[in-house]
Chains A and B, each alone.
Chain A
Amino acid sequence: MVGTTWIGHSAETLNQELIRVAQELGPVTMELRPFSPAGLADYLMRSQPARGESLLDLVVVPNDWLGQLFERDLICELPVSRVDALEQHLVRQALLAVSDHDKVLAYPVSAEVLALVYDPDRFPSPPRTMDELLAAPLPAGVLPFAFNVLNPSHLTPLVSSFQGSLLDRDGNFVWRDDALLTVLGHLDGLWRLPGAWNACRGDDNESLQLQLFSEGKLASFVAGPWLLEALEATGRPFAVMPIPPFADSTHPARALVGYECVAALRESRWTDLALEAGASLLEEQANERLNRSTRRLPVLLSSYQTKRAMTAAGTVGFLRALEGGQAFPPSANWSEGFQRVGDRLQRLRAQARPPSRADLERRLLGGRS
């Protein structure tokens, strides 16, 4: 039994791969059980499954869950023999993202990172800074840039470009107020453009931004690799690059990199089989099928060396963002700090008009104390 937070097409693809793995492993039946993130967390944190529920053997979870699961003794550490194999075939950053000191807690099967999608017709050469992006000469009614101001992942690259490390001495995820206000201050000019604030704060603004981009009303926006298919369907030319920093920033703009991981649960009656199934998802062809179908980024070294990876539209840009990004460490401190930052940003949801600096200080800083 495999638990996952994946849904829809991704879940169906994962299910197909698991069926294939089960056939290769012999007389094994594998069943995928989708959960909501809260539902899976609730399931895993319970000591016993509810009546009538089967025990999970494997879970597919984001890598930042791993620390908490390992602290609670819910998942198994990978045996040394399997870690040796991973070190030879995985991108080192992916391996670090699922490691707690010297322990490897799961198999990373795919990566996600945010990057800048831009219209090459509007920017003949890739913009080197955010200032260059925002100052581009565009026709009236065309926005130079959009992102989701309520989503901390979208702002993290820019904040980190002013702040540097996002971790304090205890490993907590923190945004310094000055860095946050500096970033938002630099975007003040953007929000003065008609419709820009509304394009950056909606719950579903990814879809809105995609429509605006496809209609030529948006020159660039922050997007994940899962939008590649939709971008291709618009028929409009697009290019992808890492999110650039502001010109006066002191550090590179590093996007957060999340990994989807397969971890074997300690309570499973078939731990060895679960570990074998997890390893099977990292076989070259299986992993490529999974990530191509779910529009996630690969984690195998070989994937970066194949012609397909280098030529697929937009993939190179996301891979560059992945290389320069920073992975969620598998610790509870990180998750909680990230959640607190997200909660602060949600205070801007009710801001109907573009916020002034006073508004930002009142909403983002005032509520903290």
Chain B
Amino acid sequence: MRLRGQLVISHLGSILAAAAIIGAVNLMLMLSGTRNLEHDTLNASLGAAEHLLAQRLTELKQGRDELAIFAANSGPLGRDVDTLARLHELLQVHQLVRVAVFSGLQKEVDAYRWERGAAPGLATTWLPTNPRIAAQVADGRSAIWIQSGPGRSPSLQLCAAVPGSGEKERRWVVVTEPLDGALMEDILPSRVVGALENEGRLLAGWPESPTGPDANLSALTAYLPRGPFSSMFKPLVARRDVIQLDDGSGLALALMASPTPSGRSLLVGLRAWFLVLAAGTLAALGLGSGLASRLLLPLRALLEGTSAMARGHLMVRLPTTRNDELGALMREFNRMADEIRSTYLGVISTLAEVVEAKSHYTRAHIERVERLTLATVEVLERRGWVRFSSHQRFVLSVAAILHDIGKIAISNEILNKSGPLEMDEREQILAHPEVGALIVERIGKLERAAEIIRCAHEHFDGSGYPRGLRGEEIPLESRVILAVDALDAMIMDRPYSTGRPLENAIRELRSEAGKQFDPVVVEALIEVVASVGVDAQEGSSGVYRVLAGESEVLSAVTPIPQAHQG
């Protein structure tokens, strides 16, 4: 996998892991908060239901007391229409279900409303089975208890003695409130199921009363509203004793609510989590890509620099603006490149010294040839004829310095011979460019310089040697070196003669333009000479001067532009 991909994936993984952890924590907090809110809401519902049930109990007590007063004022009651009508009025006013008046064990009268379905199984009695309450009632005190039994619907009994009835002829009034779904419907909020319990025994439920010995609140789960993920959570249950009974037990109200809000909260949380992950992924891809680019840019430069160096581009130098490890790596690369370049230059320097020693040329000539060659190329570049990279300039410098290296294979006698050359002598002279090219090729990575040297004695009209190339067949660098070398040879002072004046040399160059020399090159060279002179050194950056220790400036190349010739 590419380094960029690895970096992006690594970044993506980190951000997704962070988003996942944050999302999970957020989800847990959200669920916890929702669950607490659900509990609070259910407890509030329980409180409201308890309040309504207390109000109902108050209503029942008021009805009981009013009935007791009516019974006291009326004396023994019959089942005539007027009495029943009065009792029904009482039922209506206090929304009672069933009332009865007893005299001793004998029921005087009872009345019931049918709206609540006062089933025949609904027992109304003043005599509770609990002996403690029975004694309390027999003693003439009011009491509240739950009446239930096999085949009997559970009901709340509120009993009171009729005022004024003596111990021997005790009369009681009883108000019976069925503990049924209808009672619960009146007090329960929507979306909640509930049950009335006494000592852990389920008496009634809403919206249905579960039956059987194992009947309990959980049987009502099926009636709870369902929502997303609600099956993952347990229904919420709240339970409280809401009415204290005279047998010491309590009537408990139990409410159960659907965990729908938790499920919805989970759904919302998961959606939010997904969005965070999606946003995190996009951010990670963007940031990871940016970071990878920032890291990979210098690495790519390093790779290209190394590759260029391997191809022989000795002038490569990388920017060293970074202060991190990558910056240190690039500085090390530059140092290594300098070492390699130094080794190359050392070889070239040695060869240059050989040329100096072998020929009549002085160091100054070599330096001038190199400098004027580079300057001429610059003019050609300015005129749009050519575009050289720094590496090509380096190669050109090397070629300019070593253009006559092949002469070391020619004996001094032939070189210094003043008369006409013999055939074999002439062949040696004609072969020296090839020899020079072979020497330079051996250095390695300087094939282009070798080719320039090989063609440095070819004439524009094809009259040169060794191959008789013409015109554009001759590398431009070779054409430049030929013209510069000729000019410098003409004006150079020698031990046995003085150089020609520059004007004459220029005239000579022009006269040979199109014959020996490239006219374009000649004009460029003349411009150089005319503008800066032959010996000017300002702005010179030749390799030869570097070798002489005069400059350490080498241009940085990143990336290395492709040269093209016009």
For the complex, give the distance between the alpha carbons of A141 and B114 in Å: 22
Contacting pair B81 A227 (CB below 8 A): no
Q: For the complex, is B353 an interface residue (Cβ under 8 Å from A)?
A: no
- Residues of chain A with a CB closer than 8 A to B163's CB: none
Complex partner residue of A195 from B85, B89, B112, B119, CB under 8 angstroms: B85
Contacting pair A194 B113 (CB below 8 A): no
Could you say which interface size class chain B belongs to? 20 to 34
Mask of B81-120 contacts with A, CB within 8 angstroms, 1/0:
1101110110110000000000000000001111101011
Contacting pair B80 A195 (CB below 8 A): yes
- Residues of chain B with a CB closer than 8 A to A8's CB: 182, 185
Contacting pair B81 A194 (CB below 8 A): yes
Q: For the complex, is B141 an interface residue (Cβ under 8 Å from A)?
A: no
Q: For the complex, is A290 an interface residue (Cβ under 8 Å from B)?
A: no
Count of chain A residues with a beta carbon within 8 Å of a chain B beta carbon? 24
Contacting pair B81 A199 (CB below 8 A): yes
Complex partner residue of A204 from B81, B89, B119, CB under 8 angstroms: B89
Contacting pair A198 B82 (CB below 8 A): yes
The A-B contact count (CB < 8 A) is 64
For the complex, give the distance between the alpha carbons of A225 and B82 in Å: 26
Q: Which of A196, A199, A211 has the most CB of B within 10 A?
A: A211
Contacting pair B91 A204 (CB below 8 A): yes
- Residues of chain B with a CB closer than 8 A to A206's CB: 114
Complex partner residue of B81 from A12, A141, A207, A210, CB under 8 angstroms: A141
Complex partner residue of B88 from A141, A208, A230, CB under 8 angstroms: A208
For the complex, give the distance between the alpha carbons of A350 and B89 in Å: 13
Q: For the complex, is A205 an interface residue (Cβ under 8 Å from B)?
A: yes
For the complex, give the distance between the alpha carbons of A205 and B81 in Å: 11
What is the distance, in angstroms, from A267's C-beta to the closest C-beta of chain B? 23
Complex partner residue of A233 from B85, B91, B113, B119, CB under 8 angstroms: B119
- Residues of chain B with a CB closer than 8 A to A212's CB: 81, 84
Contacting pair A194 B111 (CB below 8 A): no
Contacting pair A233 B182 (CB below 8 A): no
Contacting pair B80 A208 (CB below 8 A): no
Contacting pair B207 A12 (CB below 8 A): yes
Contacting pair A194 B88 (CB below 8 A): no
Q: For the complex, is A149 an interface residue (Cβ under 8 Å from B)?
A: no
In the complex, the chain B residue whose C-beta lies closest to that of A204 is B92
- Residues of chain B with a CB closer than 8 A to A207's CB: 88, 91-92, 112-115
CB-contacts of A211-243 with B (<8 A): 211-212, 215, 217, 227, 230, 233
Q: For the complex, is B382 an interface residue (Cβ under 8 Å from A)?
A: no
What is the distance, in angstroms, from B209's C-beta to the closest C-beta of chain A? 14
Contacting pair B114 A199 (CB below 8 A): no
What is the distance, in angstroms, from B96's C-beta to the closest C-beta of chain A? 10
Given A207-B113, A211-B111, A233-B120, A194–B91 Cβ distance below 8 Å?
A: no
Q: For the complex, is A42 an interface residue (Cβ under 8 Å from B)?
A: no
Q: For the complex, is B152 an interface residue (Cβ under 8 Å from A)?
A: no
Q: Which of A199, A204, A217, A233 has the most CB of B within 10 A?
A: A204
Mask of A174-212 contacts with B, CB within 8 angstroms, 1/0:
000000000000000000001110110011111110111
Q: For the complex, is A143 an interface residue (Cβ under 8 Å from B)?
A: yes
In the complex, the chain B residue whose C-beta lies closest to that of A12 is B207
Complex partner residue of B85 from A12, A198, A210, A230, CB under 8 angstroms: A198
- Residues of chain A with a CB closer than 8 A to B81's CB: 141, 143, 194-196, 198-199, 212, 217
What is the distance, in angstroms, from A334's C-beta to the closest C-beta of chain B? 28
Q: For the complex, is B79 an interface residue (Cβ under 8 Å from A)?
A: yes
Complex partner residue of A203 from B80, B92, B111, B119, CB under 8 angstroms: B92
For the complex, give the distance between the alpha carbons of A197 and B114 in Å: 21
30 example contacts (A-B, Cβ-Cβ < 8 A) are as follows A8-B182, A8-B185, A141-B81, A143-B81, A194-B80, A194-B82, A198-B85, A199-B85, A202-B85, A202-B89, A202-B92, A203-B92, A204-B89, A204-B91, A204-B92, A205-B88, A206-B114, A207-B112, A207-B113, A208-B88, A210-B114, A211-B111, A215-B79, A217-B79, A227-B114, A230-B114, A230-B117, A233-B117, A233-B119, A233-B120
> Which residues of A are at the interface with B, using a C-beta cutoff of 8 A?
8, 12, 141, 143, 194-196, 198-199, 202-208, 210-212, 215, 217, 227, 230, 233
Given A202-B88, A203-B89, A204-B89, 11 new contacts (CB under 8 A): A8-B182, A8-B185, A143-B81, A202-B85, A203-B92, A208-B84, A210-B114, A211-B112, A215-B79, A227-B114, A230-B117
